[in-house]
Chains A and B, each alone.
Chain A
């Protein structure tokens, strides 16, 4: 019998070899390890240290096989570790299924592994899903012949605030150390000592500082590594698993969510080779409890005599409808980037058909009309495969990151780029104000720049991929320059937003210039197209107001009402402007999961279901649909955005036409994407630099975002909040250990890091610093700020 391994590409096949395992011939690409070849024909060889995504190490020796013929007629005198042995043409391999020697070697190895492993399975978090436990059952002896003294250690060691190590359980497979070194590039843990006292060690003064640390818990083949978040929380066999797509960023990771008793207990990286392979970031893994605080909204609220009071759903819907009738078409909708595609679509349709306005925008962050034009021209209305994918990143000749810090803003893109740099010597350029750790870990070239000035000088060709982040919108002319570079050189361009719902919101038409599927509002045919599909006479013509303009218009009394989904005012360019708009608006309807600054200013508050209780789709930066399944099915679940909007539309008397995720999906599919002409790409000159000290910034992965609330161990692993300046700038400004950064509306003190790679005459701070954000200071990167030494100030004053 001969089984052919599945060819991965139609194009050019790599040279292959044929190896016979347990009498079954299999053709595999040259370089394939025996253990992988065995998997291809369904033969599982037990293993601990082997991991398909890590470099082989051959440490645990569990996967021993016999090799009666190396392909040259001669056999190997000793059993071989199949995880380090490459297949050779004509090689014959006998696994535990056909070789007594291999079977005994494996049985013996399990026994040896258990010599120093405690039999504490009943109290071990891994018990029930433990490769050692499972393989001891499948491959080992029922009872150990070892009746001596086991190695013991005080327990546990805090490798970081989140990761705990019980050394006595460790089988020293080096998966965690190899992961941290090879995959994430954070080699803060290493094997130390020798013999049976060998153990995972950390630096005396440095914790295991990594955005990806949770992966080591997942790949640990025993219960040696646990997370502070999940330790002692549950037993694997009591959990129910549901596949979901991560809601934290636009990477689009598939996750496995485990719940018990109507409560999510943990989240694991799913297995999606096209996207996250088998990894995810710590934020995606641990930040899922933000909806469990006392600020969770569980019943509607309506404002009466200036105070919010609880209300029943019918009463609240009546109040909302009354408000909506009052404002008529003088309404704006701000949706934010956290919604599923289906929910965003409901808002988009609600704005157009129920309210009759194009005033809808998802961008809860600094944004411009240049960006809206860029998105309409080059991003919206595409399908997966029309643009850049993760796989393309690995085969590109060069990748340029502009206004995009992959490790902080799309961690899985970072992992993929690092992998390509390590394995395929991918050339990467990062255009950014300073050489970050992430830039170093991607082995990338750093192009120091804070605005668009460096872009026209970059070299690119048809083999180049330009990844441009949403922050490009902060600098006038940057998106124009990037589009020009791509058009001139033939380089491929991909826009990578930060939030999980951003790409879906664009496709749903949550932009003032776009209808669903990338249809330009300004295009008559596009409007007719959508109107016909929606069964309405006509759609509002003329582009609407973007989010900032909506709040400004509300402040000026030009816009009467605002419908606001999950947004944080402090995420916008100016928190004060958002709050002013909310306060001035005649009617504010808030649809939220948790009480916020919007709630405080809303007239009607409708509680929305947590993501874990509903289904939907996130589109990632590649435009790949990532399904979300309802994890927790509770009878007490509040309504979803979609159901609420449908109920409001019904009450207004203009039915939305959709009320379930399935119906929304069907309608989106029926609409398809726009096939007509795309609007022109924007052409704007590059803005001059701010002034004496220009602000630069991006948001760090683990920051004061409300989505991270309630998970103290995760927050402890956040990177420190510091301000970076170049040594020359620090000297010019006379900076010491701390600086005070001031805008027109506020100021904040930061610890100073002088960084030789930092651009001169600029300061970098994180976009969110826990007790404030750029939005609370009211500044946008690229603008001028005032920086003085904090120590010089007479009155300490505190943070504004």
Chain B
């Protein structure tokens, strides 16, 4: 059997000081940028289109197509904004990538900016991860010093400013229009669309917003060609991507593999479920993607495969839970997160998450009453698909999928606390101190 791993983005992570320019260039870094600058911008866009690269932030929108939506006849400046506000529970691909190899992103930014005609690119980075911000700032500084950013890059006549911007810690700022508001100095809340960012985004100018991994994938595509990229993955989900395994696995971490790999393979690579336990449920791409169970071990982890199973590929953050885990408690923790992170703009998200948390607390405490499961589902139905942005959809997806797969566990909440059915000590990966009253 061939090695299922295809390290491209992660290939240099183990290098000595991989985050330094010298180290990055020893492996052929910035060759993609040099190649791109020798092409015309439309050629770069068609190359990326041909490769079939799709957005790695979760929605899977074709990256090249997004670039081509930017109206080139618009007299306003055009902007590229890299969404590096990774903060969904379970998701941890962009932060390790930026920590290990920030230049991969910077190179991608130069290529993308050149292709779209951008002269100012912004990296909107989650504010809490200070070490990543420092690495990014250092990498951008090095790129300027090497002539890869600034004016007249490598004599091509192409100018590009790159700004690293630290967010102030709000999940909603990962939503692209809220991100733009935040970047402009306002409170991060989603904007009304239309106008779409491609027409009126940052400072009401045409703007492309891409995920870190999407942009970071571009240098390799330019260097190796679209055919090389298409060889990996499945028919409609091309290329390699980073899968992040966390939770009850023996060796959690990032695994870079072609799209379409299965959880079974990834579990083999990560040493399987922790010793003596079995898989109970998992998320394919962060907490806002509906959960799956051990029935879904052999599903193709690509956009279509996940959609076919009623869930989403999302950020490919596979949170793995074994049989010791209370699905009620897990769901409650997730919804608490969404309640805390709801921006408050629209009713269903703001009020719905407030209500769901109170309902789920009763299931956890065993004080729910007969009929509460249906009530829970109905409240979710009143929230899902009605909100201003997708945050609330994510908030209810974990609830509805958990009830779909584990309804009896919720019904048990009519009489028995979750901590009695699933003593929390059992699912902990580390020593837990007893806390009074909470059952932990």
Contact = CB atoms under 8 A, between A and B. Distances in A.
Interface of A: 56-62, 64, 77-79, 81, 84, 104-105, 107-109, 111-113, 115-116, 145-146, 148-149, 151, 171-172, 191-198
Interface stretch (B88-96, B133-141, B384-392): B384-392
Nearest to A48: B347
A111 B381 CA distance: 13
Contact of A195 (B341, B378, B381, B382): B341
Given A79-B386, A111-B382, A195-B341, A145 B348 contact: no
Given A84-B192, A104-B382, A146-B355, A113 B347 contact: yes
B399 to A, nearest CB: 15
A112 B383 contact: yes
B375 interface: yes
Given A61-B387, A108-B382, A109-B386, A194 B355 contact: no
Contacts of A172: 344-345, 347, 350
A79 to B, nearest CB: 6
Contacts of A84: 192
Contacts of A78: 385-386
A197 B348 CA distance: 14
A73 B292 CA distance: 34
Contacts of B359: 148
A143 to B, nearest CB: 13
B329 interface: no
Contacts of B355: 112, 115, 146, 148
B382 A109 contact: yes
B382 A196 contact: no
B187 interface: yes
19 contacts: A58-B192, A78-B385, A78-B386, A79-B385, A84-B192, A104-B381, A105-B386, A108-B381, A112-B382, A113-B351, A145-B375, A148-B359, A192-B187, A193-B344, A194-B172, A194-B343, A196-B353, A198-B343, A198-B350
Interface string B305-349: 000000000000000000000000000000000011111111110
B260 interface: no
Given A146-B355, A195-B341, A105 B382 contact: yes
Interface of B: 170, 172, 187, 189, 192, 339-348, 350-355, 358-359, 375, 378-379, 381-383, 385-388
Nearest to A114: B351
Nearest to A172: B344
Given A113-B347, A116-B351, A198-B343, 5 more contacts: A109-B347, A115-B351, A148-B358, A194-B342, A196-B350
A550 to B, nearest CB: 60
B344 A112 contact: no
A195 B346 contact: no
A61 B340 contact: no
B234 to A, nearest CB: 24
B358 A195 contact: no
Nearest to A150: B354
A61 B348 contact: yes
B162 to A, nearest CB: 30
B346 A58 contact: yes
A194 B344 contact: yes
Nearest to A174: B345
A187 to B, nearest CB: 12
Contacts of A197: 344
A112 B342 contact: no
A115 B387 CA distance: 16
A109 B347 CA distance: 7
Nearest to B345: A59
Contacts of A60: 346-347
A131 to B, nearest CB: 14
A77 B375 CA distance: 23
Greatest chain B CB density within 10 A among A104, A193, A198 is at A198
Contacts of A81: 388
A61 B346 contact: yes
Nearest to B187: A191
A195 B343 contact: yes
Contacts of B388: 58-59, 61, 81
B14 to A, nearest CB: 40
Contacts of A61: 346-348, 386-388
Contacts of A64: 386
A538 to B, nearest CB: 70
Given A56-B192, A194-B170, A112 B341 contact: no
Given A104-B382, A109-B386, A116-B354, A57 B347 contact: no
Contacts of B352: 112, 115
Contacts of B172: 194
Contacts of A107: 382
Contacts of A194: 170, 172, 341-344
Contacts of A191: 187, 189, 344
Contacts of A79: 385-386
A195 B354 contact: yes
Contact of B354 (A58, A104, A151): A151
A60 B350 CA distance: 10
Greatest chain B CB density within 10 A among A112, A148, A198 is at A112
A194 B192 CA distance: 18
Contacts of A171: 347
Greatest chain B CB density within 10 A among A62, A105, A146, A195 is at A195
Greatest chain B CB density within 10 A among A58, A116, A171 is at A58
Nearest to B350: A196
A41 to B, nearest CB: 24
Contacts of A58: 192, 346, 388
Contacts of B379: 108, 145
A196 B386 contact: no
Greatest chain B CB density within 10 A among A77, A84, A145 is at A145
Contacts of B348: 61, 108-109, 112
Contacts of A195: 339-344, 350, 353-354
A55 to B, nearest CB: 9
A198 B342 CA distance: 10
A193 B342 CA distance: 10
B374 to A, nearest CB: 10
A115 B357 CA distance: 12
A473 to B, nearest CB: 45
Given A104-B382, A191-B187, A195-B342, A62 B192 contact: no
A77 B379 CA distance: 19
Contacts of A148: 355, 358-359
Contact of B347 (A112, A145, A146, A151): A112
B347 A62 contact: yes
Nearest to A84: B192
A113 B350 CA distance: 9
Contacts of A196: 339, 342, 344, 350-351, 353-354
Greatest chain A CB density within 10 A among B342, B344, B381, B387 is at B344
Contacts of B350: 172, 195-196, 198
A148 B363 CA distance: 13
Closest 9 CB pairs of A and B: A108-B382, A198-B344, A148-B358, A78-B385, A112-B351, A195-B342, A115-B351, A196-B354, A194-B344
Contacts of A112: 347-348, 351-352, 355, 382-383
A394 B440 CA distance: 67
Given A79-B386, A109-B386, A112-B352, A59 B342 contact: no
A64 B381 CA distance: 14
Given A57-B192, A59-B388, A60-B346, A115 B354 contact: yes
